[in-house]
Amino acid sequence: MGAIFQSLGRTITAGVVVLIVLLAIAGAITGTWVRVADHSWWQFAFRWLHVTAGVMWIGLLWYFNFVQTPSMPKIPDEQKPAIGKVIAPAALFWFRWAAMATIILGLILAWMNRYVGPALMLQKGVLAIGLGMWLGIIMWFNVWFIIWPNQKKALGMVQVTPEEKTKAARVAGMTSRINTMLSIPMLYFMVAQSHGGL
């Protein structure tokens, strides 16, 4: 059992196996089975994948803003290179690709449910999800076109002058805080569409 949890890949695989076993048990108890041939199941599957990617994206965003950034001044200088050279690049990899997966899966889901156009035009009936989508798109843009390019400079992945490095760190940090602020209404409107919050 311990070997499963010593590998992230095996842990994720075990999670999928547990899901399948629980689905089989639930099917045996209720007599209702997953119908992968049904369009509605695929809509659910894409929603689940969208939410899963979104949890990783926003979880990492909040990790940066609630844990890593406030903790940096408390870390002794000789230990800070471990953050900048090892932890931050790995976290930023998953952060930006989780953002990409969230957006792509969300747009596919909206297309499957036939509201991508009306939602992006903020039409009545899909206004809440439309607002959530636009906030998510803005946040995705910030990740890929502001935070990531500036973080590469701040972490020394791209060689720049010390002044440019300081400016890049400030821009990346401020944009990350903006995304943290936007995540609050984005999450509200994403949930509000189908759960009566608007």
The pLDDT assigned to 96 comes to 98
Structure confidence at residue 196 (pLDDT): 87
Residue with tokens 């932890």: 87
pLDDT tens for the chain, 198 residues: list them: 788 999 999 999 999 999 999 999 999 999 999 999 999 999 999 999 999 999 999 999 999 999 999 999 999 999 989 999 999 999 999 999 999 999 999 999 999 999 999 999 999 999 999 999 999 999 999 999 999 999 999 999 999 999 999 999 999 999 999 999 999 999 999 999 999 888
Read off the pTM.
Answer: 0.93
pLDDT score, position 188: 97
Cβ neighbours around 103 below 10 Å, total: 22
Which pLDDT score, from 0 to 100, does residue 64 have? 97
The amino acid at residue 12 is I
Distances (CA, A) of 132 to 52, 64, 85, 173: 16, 22, 34, 23
Q: Using CA atoms, how far apart are residues 158 and 98, in angstroms rounded to an integer? A: 23
- Consecutive H or E run containing 181: helix 162-195
Read off the tokens for 102: 């969230």
Distance CA 82, CA 194 (A): 43
List CB contacts of 152: < 8 A, sequence separation 6 or more: 158
Burial class (CB in 10 A: 0-12, 13-18, 19+), 147: buried
- pLDDT for res 58: 98
Calculate the CA dihedral of residues 107, 185, 57, 174 and round it to 10 degrees.
Answer: 120
Provide the CB-side half-sphere exposure for 33 (13 A, CA): 5
pLDDT at 173: 97
